[in-house]
Amino acid sequence: MTDEHVLSRALIESGGVAAMVAKAAPDLRLLTEAERAASLRATLEARPPGDAWLFGYGSLIWNPTIHSVERRTARVEGWHRAFCLSIRAGRGTKDKPGLVLGLDAGGSCTGIAFRIAEDVLEGELSLLWRREMLAGSYVPRWLDVLDPNGGRFGSAITFTIDRSCEQYAGTLARDVIVQRLATASGVLGSAADYLFRTRDGLRAQGIPDPELERLAAHVEAAQAVLRVGGGP
């Protein structure tokens, strides 16, 4: 695993991510630029008073791509990290769909909050919407972010899963999740790499996720079996 990320700021700015997804999954409806702009505008109109934060719980932790002026360990309540979004492009294919993280209802989640400067806010969020809101599988919402002692320090944009979208996969059996993560791969890399980078990113921040640690161990074991058996 290298430090280079296929999903770069330059690729997002150029529209390359959308083009790659459209080519890999031509039957997947992507949001138009106008729809993404409307979503961003509605989110900004609903902004609570105070600084603008972004809550990262998955790949944003180890590959944020946006510019921020501060980052802090943060927790959100009422939502938990889960591999609940099925993908047929990026880190999976139509024949072997992968899985990526979303925030699903219930529980809590500890991640990293990024504070975005006011003078670049709209530009940075526009870039973020090109990355996270390709197919409208997430619902962006403002959530209270809490420090390690439980004190609220602000409100953050958070991408929660849309359970009504066709890509929602929050009811998959554990063995199916492990198999998908162990075997799926696409133009942006493998689903396993995404899992391992997120696990390692959380470890590096001093906030390891026990459930993600267990899942990563199961995926590593599954991959070992596949290698011995000559599987994909």
For residues 213-230, give the mean pLDDT.
92
User: What pLDDT score was predicted for residue 39?
Assistant: 97
Domain that holds residue 68: 29-227
Q: How many domains does the chain have?
A: 1
89 found inside a domain: yes
Strand partners, 168: 85
Q: Is 13 within a domain?
A: no
Question: What is the pLDDT, as a whole number, of residue 5?
Answer: 73
pLDDT of the residue at 3: 44
* Position 7 in a domain: no
For residue 232, is pLDDT > 70?
no
188-107-146 Cα angle (round to 5): 85
Given 33, 118, 132, 220, the catalytic residue:
132
User: Could you tell me if residue 16 is inside a domain?
Assistant: no
Q: Taking residues 151-155, report their average pLDDT.
A: 98
Instruction: Assign 51 to helix, strand or coil.
Output: coil
Rounded Cα–Cα distance for residues 47 and 53 (Å): 10
CATH code (residue 104): 3.10.490.10
Q: What is the mean pLDDT of residues 215-229?
A: 93
For the chain, state the CA radius of gyration.
17
Residue 186 in domain: yes
Kindly report the backbone phi and psi dihedral angles of residue 87, in degrees, each rounded to the nearest multiple of 5, phi listed first.
-130, 140
Pairing of strands 52-56, 152-161: parallel
Task: Please tell me the distance from the alpha carbon of residue 169 to that of residue 174, in angstroms, as a whole number.
Answer: 11
Q: According to DSSP H, which parts of 46-163 are helical?
A: 59-62, 121-132
* pTM for the full predicted model: 0.93
Residue 174 lies in a domain: yes
The yes-or-no answer on residue 132 being catalytic is yes
Average model confidence (pLDDT) across the chain: 94
Contact 6, 188 (CB under 8 A): yes
67 in any annotated domain: yes
**Is residue 210 in some structural domain?**
yes
More confident residue, 231 or 119: 119
Cβ-contact 90, 5 below 8 angstroms:
no
